[in-house]
Structure formats: structure tokens, C-alpha cells
Structure 1
Amino acid sequence: MKFLNIRRIEQMLLVTDSYHPNRLGYYNRQKSANQRENIKMKPSLSQTSPTHGSGEGVVIRGLKQRIKKLEEMVISLDDKIRNMDGEMKENETLREQIRSLEEANKAQGQERKELEKRIKKLEGEKSQLESRISKQEDKNKQLNDNLKELDVSSLLSSERDEIAAWNVQIKENIEQFRKEFQELTMENDAMKTSFADALKGNVAVKEAVKGNRTRMKVTDSCRPNRYNCMQKSAYYSPASISEHLSRRSCIKLLQIIRGAEVHTGVWKFWGVNLERKFGERDPKAFL
């Protein structure tokens, strides 16, 4: 509460109060002087004596009562202002709550619209399903009527006969497949044994050729029209080798030499050697 200058209010009331007996005379005597100086020079109410008259005491009492009422009014106004502040805060919170509720209502309205749309779709689907169910029930009734008209026992006996015939045919096919599989396994075993015999014969031929190959020595100095591939002091001559070998063994040796991819002088050497015995120039003619 603001501070009230009670002395100032009292002095102003004394000057302007219409009930004061000496108001006009006092005002006219001090008319030319400054108002502040008049207020300073004017004695206070506390210093006034009872000679000033009974009117001043009445005025002072009235002023004091007014001051008390003003103070009470100020206190009550402060309380009202505080209450109003609280009410304003409450109103703000209520407004926020109202806004949130309005937003929630809007969202709920949208959800309601979506739910209504879904309900309409579901109702349409429900009607379609009901129509399908009714159609299917009609079909089932027709099928039941048709089954009642047919002889179920005769159908079952005919189907059993067909199943038995199929089983007999399946068993015969399985036995035939087993026989064919046994024949194929026997042929496979025979082929394996023949292949093993052929491998053994090939190994024997290779060992025989190795025995003859150790007696020869082929060098890289062999050139066309020159046959210094054998050392006569340590190995047999070509003529002696060709004389001791048969036509079949010479062909085998040529096959081995061809597979080894040796120098062309070897071909020349064996070509001349075979030309003397068999009259063939190209050793590839024997292969």
C-alpha cells in the first residue's frame, strides 16, 4: 500500500473545507504568499489549541475516520487484486484446458468420420458376403439333391476295382524296372572288367617299350638330313633295332614318341629306319 501524506491531506481540507468558519478570511490574508510557505507556516493539527474552535476537532475526527476507511478500502482492493490475479491464472489454465479439449474434439471428429467410412465399407462387404453365402447354400442344396439321386455304393465298388487294377500294374512295372536295373549293373561290371584288362595290357606294352627305350639316347643335335642320334659304341644301330622289332611294336613306339612331343629329328630317324624295312617315308602312316 502506498504511503499517504496525511498531514498534506489535512492541510488541504482545512483550506478548502466549506464548513470551516475562517476559511475566506484565512485564504484572503494569505493570498499573495506562496502556497508552500503558507503550508509550512501554518501550524499542524497536533499543535492547534482548543482556542481555534470546536469545528477543527470535528474536522480532524472526520478526517481520521476517512483515512481509516481509505486504508480499509486500500487493503480490500489489494485483496481483490490478489484474488483477481489468482482468478486470471485460473482462467488461463482453464483456457488452455479448453483449447486442448477443442483439439481433442477435432481429432475425435476426424476419427469418427474415418470410423463411419469404415463402417459403411464393412456393411457393403457384409452384404456381399451374405449374398455369396446364400448362393453357396443354394449350390450345396443342389449337390445334396444330386448325391441323393446317385447310387453311392455302386460308385465306391467301381472305384475300388480301378484302384486294385492300378496297384497290380504298378507292381508289375516295379518288377520290370528291377530286372532292367540288374541287367544294367551286370553290363557295367563287365565293362569295368574289360577296362581293367585293357589297362593291364597297356601297362605291359609300356613296360616292354621302356626296356627298348633305355637302349636309345636322343639328343637335341638332330637336324634334317643328319642322323647322329645314336652312339654306336654304347647303343644298337637303327638298322639293328628295326630288324629286331616287328611292325606292331614299331607302331606302338611311334605312338609313344608322338605323344611325348619330342624333336622332329626323332621322326626323321624313325622314318628312315622304317623306310629301310617297310618302305614307308611318313611314320604317321602307321598310326
Structure 2
Amino acid sequence: MNMKTFSSYIVLIGTVIVALSGNWVLKHYDTLSLYPKSLSIMFGVGWLLIVCAYILNILSPYHEVPPTDRRDNRDVINQWERHRKRLENGFIGIALVTLVLAAFSSWSLVFDLFFLYFFIGMVAAGFLFVMQGDRVEGPDDLNFKGKTKKFLDVIDYRRHPFSLSLILFTLIVGSFVLSKEFGIPFYMEVSGDPRYATDLPNFAFSLSSLLIVSGFIYIINNGDLFGIRKAKQNGMKVLFIHFFELIICGASFCIWLFIVIEALVLHY
């Protein structure tokens, strides 16, 4: 395994750690007076892995596999498209059955399973979307110029793993932790009736899926992953990710900013 491929796995591990530990913070905000220090350390370790892998990737050249070992699992993903509908129906059926069975136990378990399936589904769909297609894609006919091109280059996840969803998710998780540390509560409900502010953990949950999918873009354009060879993709998939970021990040940022400002005003 060359160093670029090794860094690909490190980026993946780091993003998964950030997503899972961050979601735990959001889920348990109302049930804890203080978050355990180990959780913050784990979140920081996830970020450290991403940064270290990025530096390692810059410093390491990519070594093409020898002609005797040119198997590319991308072909398997492309062939999966033929049986996609049948497999999707099977997975959905299994998920529905488990949700129905869970309802006999407790509704909280149903919601936990639903969000788990949603997370796995988004990540899996994003993985297939990013990995399928040709290893070397044709030109995308995108002809941005000036400041627009410079801005898109900055948020081009083929070049770096620091996506907008990762940064915003980190800000949200960090603010939740600091809220507990400094005793500045976020008001998620009023008189027991949820308002739109309660949607923040749900939007942030979607962000956690999106940041992993954005990581796939960086990973596969810079190294191998699970036997899928490094690709040279055009900008269309990146723009598709940006489209979802515009919706999810935009809504998350507005709600988060409102909650933070309200909490500070009421506290001081």
C-alpha cells in the first residue's frame, strides 16, 4: 500500500470519527450537564487525522499499480447499477421490517433506528455516486472565470478534504460543547412546544453525512480506496455536492446563528 492510499483510509477514518462523535454531542445535549472530556478528545483526534492525512497526501507521490494487478473495483460498482432497484427494494424492506418490530419495543428506538438508516443510506448513496463512472472522466464544459472560478477552486474537494459541511458541522458541535462549559444554554423549546430551532440537530445530522460524502470526492481523486483506483473526475460531481451544501449548510447556518445570538442575548 502506497502512502497516498494509506492517507485515503486515514481521511475516511477521521471524517467518520468527526461525524459520529459530533452526532453524539448533538443527540445528548438535553441529557447532560457537561460533555465528557474524552468526547472532545475523540472529535479532535478525528480532525487531527484529516489534517495529517492531507499533509501526507501532499508529500507523497501516487504509484500506479503494476500491469499484473490492474483490477479496479469501480467496475463492480458500475455493474451494480444493473441490479440497483432490486437491491434497494431489499434494503428498504429490511429497514421497514426492523422499524415495525422496534415499534413494539419503544418509539425512541424507532427514531434512533430511523436516523441510523438515514445516515447509512445517505453515506452509501453518496459513496456509489462518487465512485461510479469512468476512472478518467471527460471535460465538464464548465467555463467559470474571475472571482467565481477562484471561489470554486477554494471549495473544490478534489484538492482538499476541508468541506463547507465539515467546517460548519465543527462550528455547531463546538458551540454545543462550549454552551455546556460556560453555562450558556441553547433554547431549543418554548413551553414544551418545539419550534424551528429544534431542527438544528436534524440539519447537523444531515451535514455529518454530507461531510463524509465530500470526503469521498477528495479521497478517490487522490488515492485508492477499497480496491477502487484513483480517478480523475471532472467538476460536475463536485457541483452536485455543492448543490446539497447550499440547501443544508444554508439552513443549518441560519438556524445555528439565530440560536447562538439568542442564547448570548438572553444570558448577558
TM-score range, shorter chain: under 0.3
Q: Which has the larger radius of gyration?
A: 1
Q: Which has the higher contact order (CA 8 A, sep 6+)?
A: 2
Higher normalized helix content (fraction of residues): 1
TM normalised by structure 1 equals 0.14
TM-score, normalised via structure 2 length: 0.15
